[in-house]
Chain A
């Protein structure tokens, strides 16, 4: 379509403004992470560190148990992602292929669960997990994360299932294949990319999660990265900016890498889930 040059220029200007708005805080974080203390104390901070240093990273690891926290985060996020996908895929299949009360109830839960305020959920969860002696433990946190990532996982997976033609399954059934066999050898392989994308999304969600981890994990050796990051900020809100920025930057990298891998699929998955709306 033809667009006038003036309009084009306007569009590019607007896009540039968006890019600046979206990118500058992240660039500033990176810049701060590599600045030596003198430059951070300077009243005229610069975008590019004059004497870039890695000291902030060293100091960050000295001040807080970052490695331990990263390991906890990794464990919690991996376990949550795998379990969520394993239990969500069959249910999403049913939601996509069958109607009936079960599907209606499940869909209703997916929608309603978005409206829960976490307070109403976290207090009873806290009490239940306390009785099970799962407070301050990564497995306890994983259980919460699994259920917490289920609505979106079900939503995405149901979309992917609907994209697999039911005719394929019917053909296999005509050939005499049993139900489970059809699922395992016909449907699952076609779903694989969607399942992987969903698992990665669940991984990022758990890796980034803060509220449940804050409430459920009490001791530093059990806490996940987001919780440990807040320890860099003192009680009075005073923070050692350099190490804070360095640690925050490192904590973001895994999410960014995984997210860049599935970026396209997330968009597609949301679309698939929304087509019927």
Chain B
């Protein structure tokens, strides 16, 4: 996905000689500037500023000037067991959501790619969770999980599976319950991406393999999967990052409770920054989150890319 512009140009370079290129192309700069300035001022700049803040004792509403304190924030963070517990929960959540999300989305995409009768309403429905505000998704599932008026417990009672429970406030059930919501909310995007990939796989190859007597599983392994791999990798990597950084869903569902069992790192850092005003410390948390996620992602991608021989 990084090579957005590759491979288009080379063929055209030579004949392009009749249209002289003005040096390093000032026209391009002129076109890029309106977007580049906001990106620099409101994205790249703040990011660098944020990394800087991690090395200061910045706090909200302080009158004394902010001072450099070196790596003190990071040293404190090393011993902050609450943060590392939150980090662990964040990893469990990110992996716990991303993996089922991918498997379920792959199944749905394969089904939607078939010539089934219910395909059209299914596609429309499959996309609804994507269009919804995350806050509404959270509210909706609160209603589902509600111990008395919720449909989940009522269904369990109907089937005689006990009285149900208070899913979101149970110490053991809270994290699995929010993970289910995370899977539900993120499935559509993954499905759409995989479906796009599926529709790109050569149909002739599929038919040829079928004629040769390859079963469904073999056809998937040898024809579909190789074509789908790049998209599957990209969307899984993105999902992992998005899920790790997720905030609104859990904020609405449990606000990190019960007893911090669902306190994702984002919630932790948000409270540190905007409830307790510890800007410097929260920025250090942000840095650690980026660092760890980058490393995990690198390991994942390198491992995956090496896993297959096809590029």
Contact = CB atoms under 8 A, between A and B. Distances in A.
B97 interface: no
B108 A277 contact: no
A34 B4 CA distance: 49
Nearest to B129: A22
Given A18-B126, A211-B248, A150 B31 contact: no
Interface of B: 1-9, 12, 19, 24-25, 27-29, 31-32, 34-36, 38-39, 42-47, 49-51, 53, 58, 104, 107-108, 111, 114, 116-118, 121-137, 139-144, 146, 148-151, 154, 157, 169, 184, 187, 192-193, 195-197, 199-200, 206-207, 210, 216, 230-231, 234, 238, 241-242, 244-245, 247-248, 251-252, 254-255, 257, 265-266, 269-270, 273-274, 279, 282-283, 285-287, 289-290, 293-294, 297
Contact of A28 (B9, B108, B151, B293): B151
A15 B31 contact: no
Query: Which DSSP category, helix, strand, loop or mixed, fits chain A's interface?
Result: helix
A86 interface: yes
Contacts, number: 319
Contact of B286 (A19, A26, A90, A123): A123
A229 B28 contact: no
Query: Which DSSP category, helix, strand, loop or mixed, fits chain B's interface?
Result: helix
A50 interface: no
B210 A1 contact: yes
Interface in A119-177: 119-128, 143-144, 146-147, 150, 154-155, 158, 162, 166, 170, 173
Interface residues of A, number: 112
Nearest to B135: A226
5 contacts: A97-B8, A107-B2, A211-B270, A241-B146, A255-B132
A40 interface: yes
Interface in A19-40: 19, 21-26, 28-29, 32, 40
